[in-house]
Structure 1
Amino acid sequence: MNDDNLVERIADKNFNVNEFVKAVLDDENIRGEVIKQLLTNNDIMVYYHCYYIISKASEKKPELFYKYWNNFVSLLEHKNSYHRNIGLTIIANLTKIDEDNLFSSIFQKYIEHFNDDKFMTAQCFVQSMKKVIRNKKQYEKKIIDLLLDIDKICTYREKQKELLKSDIIEVLDEVYKSTKYKDIIVEFIRKQCNSLSPKTKKKARFFLAKHDL
């Protein structure tokens, strides 16, 4: 794949994401151009397709994208919530190889999105925590405490907070077997068995059954 008409091909609604993922992993020039379009192109078909490409590629080989860390961090303060979601997701992928511990300098900025202006971005934040808590063990207690404090931290409508707890349960399940903080996790999960959200209630009961609690 060469970069002739690259943007047009990415914008095609029927574009082949796996073809582009391979190209981005194999070719530094194409990788740089796709990241450029992700960061600067205002056409949602372009930047969102670039997001699909980079999110998949950075899961496969995060080390190829580490040098763009600051570019992805800049998205966390973007006025467009889609871009904030993109930043959250890709940074979570890169925590796997964060050898310079760059995440420590943005931790507070990152967790602000637990109570983002947009509820969908808060959902993206919590979903990203599954990777962060797996890759950054030193933040395990802080993340658990943060998520369990959802009712005080988040200002969304009650139904939205109850739904968000379904994603929180998935994060807690990620670390449950190895964590030292089982007691507070189980206490939280048991409370969700009476959640207003059917999805959260179902996940809570599944969690307890899965872990024989």
Structure 2
Amino acid sequence: MKSKYELDQKDINIEELAKKALSDDKLPKELMDGILSKDNTTRKNCFETLQIISNEKPEILYPKWDHFHKMFKSKNNYHKYIAVYILADLTKIDKDNKFNDMFEDYYRILAGDKVMTASHVALNSSKIAINKPELQEEIIERLINIENIHQGKQKELLKAYAIESLREIYPEIKDKEKVMKFIEEQLESSSPKTRDLAACFIERCE
């Protein structure tokens, strides 16, 4: 049955949809169903709308943690990708420390061989490190040791995403010298993107 919210329309206003979801009890359920849709447009629209909600009103989606956790464990890489982002946002209000319990599972993706999913874990690490200060030191260790952790062939590119996260949390990092050493080493990276981000990091943070 076709959704009355026209979630399959390419020109839908995502911002307006997210606002509507705050007052319409039925829309959040349709969005949750929509992220599992086989239709690419529907899935994309629902994900982007839920991202706005998880970022601005995470308390609305926190009760659905188990649903996203199930998606995270899916063999479907797009489902996993969605969960990586939403769960990172939800750590902001994770009063039950559900993320702490799945920490190793989350960062096992970083240690895998698929740069596509690993890069999103690296990129979302800044949110988690800010929202979960008790995990910050361990997260930083994982990011600066990607060379030894990641099993894929594109380690140099993955380091670029680690640098982006480290730049976000740098003001809060206690051992800045250790992190800066990692950044300086990336000035010699074989990845142009990683080299550029390392240079930008040093320019802004030194």
Scaled to the shorter chain, the TM-score interval is over 0.9
- With normalisation by structure 1, the TM-score equals 0.91
Seq. identity, %: 33
1:15 equivalent in structure 2: 12
Q: Determine if the alignment matches structure 1 residue 181 to structure 2 residue 178.
A: no
Gapped runs of 5+ residues in structure 2? none
**Which residue identity is paired with 1:141?**
E
1:37-74 deviations in Å (ceiling 9; x for gaps): 22x42222222221111011111100111000000011
**Which residue identity is paired with 2:86?**
I
**Which residue identity is paired with 1:20?**
L
Gapped runs of 5+ residues in structure 1? none
Give me the CA root mean square deviation: 1.6
1:104-147 deviations in Å (ceiling 9; x for gaps): 11111111111345321111111111211111110011101111
Q: Residue 123 of structure 1 contacts residue 164 of structure 1 at CA under 8 Å; is this kept in 2?
A: yes
CA distance in 2, matches of 1:83, 1:119: 16
CA distance in 2, matches of 1:152, 1:7: 50
Q: Residue 81 of structure 1 contacts residue 118 of structure 1 at CA under 8 Å; is this kept in 2?
A: no
CA distance in 1, matches of 2:76, 2:113: 11
1:201 equivalent in structure 2: 195
2:148 equivalent in structure 1: 152
Q: Determine if the alignment matches structure 1 residue 69 to structure 2 residue 65.
A: yes
Q: Residue 114 of structure 2 contacts residue 152 of structure 2 at CA under 8 Å; is this kept in 1?
A: no
Alignment of 1:97-136 (within 5 A): 97-136=93-132
Distance 1:195 1:166, change over 3 A: same
Task: Count matched residues.
Answer: 206
**Which residue identity is paired with 1:180?**
K
1:68-117 deviations in Å (ceiling 9; x for gaps): 00000111121211111100000011001111111111111111111345
- With normalisation by structure 2, the TM-score equals 0.94
Q: Determine if the alignment matches structure 1 residue 94 to structure 2 residue 69.
A: no
SS at match of 1:26: coil
**Which residue identity is paired with 1:12?**
Q
1:135-186 deviations in Å (ceiling 9; x for gaps): 11100111011111111111221xx211111111111112222211212101
Q: Residue 84 of structure 2 contacts residue 120 of structure 2 at CA under 8 Å; is this kept in 1?
A: yes
CA distance in 1, matches of 2:3, 2:15: 15
Q: Residue 51 of structure 1 contacts residue 86 of structure 1 at CA under 8 Å; is this kept in 2?
A: yes
Aligned mate of 1:165, from 159, 163, 167: 159
